[in-house]
Structure 1
Amino acid sequence: MFVLDSRLQQDTVCLGEYPLCRLLLMNDVQYPWFILVPRREDVSELFQLDAADQLQLWRETTGLAELLKDCFAADKMNVATLGNVVSQLHMHVIVRRRDDVSWPAPVWGRHPTQAYTVEQVAALKARLRSVLAGDFCFVEG
């Protein structure tokens, strides 16, 4: 049974689900920062996914990155699995812009986080509804 890591639950807002991954929004309004988490039990490394899931994770990741690059006029997309603090396999998809508060340094630990308001999350979901389609299902609330 898939259970989302408590740290990811605490630090993110759930946006919805792809066929394989749950899509989360890092609760920091300074960056459009998304996290894909494969809904598989006890997986901490990419190679622990079977071949079909590896391919699906890559499809979901690259598709999301491409949509976000256009939607947010990104200068660069940062895509990575790290997992040094949260061992559950998750893929960061971060929109970077030359005018963001951390450019060109990494986003981690640079500045205190600034949480989204309910209204900001709703506006972001509305913006994404126009570009996310097909096999993505938003979570309401």
Structure 2
Amino acid sequence: MFELDSRLHNDTFFVCDLTLCRVLLMNDSQFPWLILVPRKNDIAEIIDLTEHEQILLLQESATVSKVLQAVFTPFKLNIAALGNVVRQLHVHHVARFEGDVAWPKPVWGNQAAVPYKEESAKLLIAQIKQHLERENAK
């Protein structure tokens, strides 16, 4: 059974499960920020996935990226799998804007998170899920 790292669990909202990955919304309203987590235990690096799973991860990353572009029209997408704090493989997808609070620096460690209000998070999750379903139907 898949186990999500407790830090990811505590810092995010569940959006949905794709074929390989769980989609999470980072609980920081300053940035549209989705995280893909392959639903496999004891995986720290992309190369720990099978070749087929690596391809699925790339496809799901592209899908999430298209959704972020469609919903938010960002200036730039930041996509990264760092894992320095949380070892479990997870890939950040952050929509960036020239006027955001961290621009042009990375979003990590530059400012405290500003949590979503519960209703705002629910609405955003519904919107993201709708776009994911549309993108997956193509």
TM-score (norm 1): 0.91
Where does structure 1 differ by over 3 angstroms across 4 or more consecutive aligned residues? none
CA contact (8 A) 1:44 1:89 kept: yes
In structure 2, what is the equivalent of residue 79 of structure 1? 79
**How many residues get paired?**
136
Point out the more displaced range, 117-126 or 79-88. 117-126
- Tell me how large the CA RMSD over aligned residues is: 1.4
2:101 match: 101
Assess if the C-alpha contact under 8 Å between 2:25 and 2:125 holds in 1: no
Match in the other structure for 2:119: 119
Alignment-mate amino acid for residue 77 of structure 2? M
Deviations 1:35-91 (A, max 9, x none): 000001110011110011000000000111122112101000001100000000000
Structure 2 match to 1:13: 13
Q: Unpaired runs of 5+ in structure 2?
A: none
Which residues of structure 1 form unaligned runs of 5+?
Answer: 137-141
Change (3 A) 1:129 1:14: closer
- The answer as to whether partners of 1:11 and 1:27 remain within 8 angstroms in 2 is yes
CA distance in 2, matches of 1:114, 1:24: 16
126-135 vs 100-109, which deviates more? 126-135
Query: Structure 1 residues 135, 31: closer, same or farther in 2, change over 3 A?
Result: closer
| CA distance in 1: counterparts of 2:70 and 2:87, whole angstroms | 30
CA contact 1:46–1:89 (8 Å) conserved in 2 = yes
> Are 2:63 and 2:135, in contact at CA under 8 Å, matched by a contact in 1?
no
Q: Match of 2:76, as an amino acid?
A: K
The structural deviation recorded for 1:130 is 3.6
User: For 2:100 and 2:9, how far apart are their aligned partners in 1?
Assistant: 25
Change (3 A) 1:63 1:135: closer
Percent identity between matched residues is 43
The reply to whether residue 36 of structure 1 matches residue 36 of structure 2 is: yes
Larger helix percent: 2
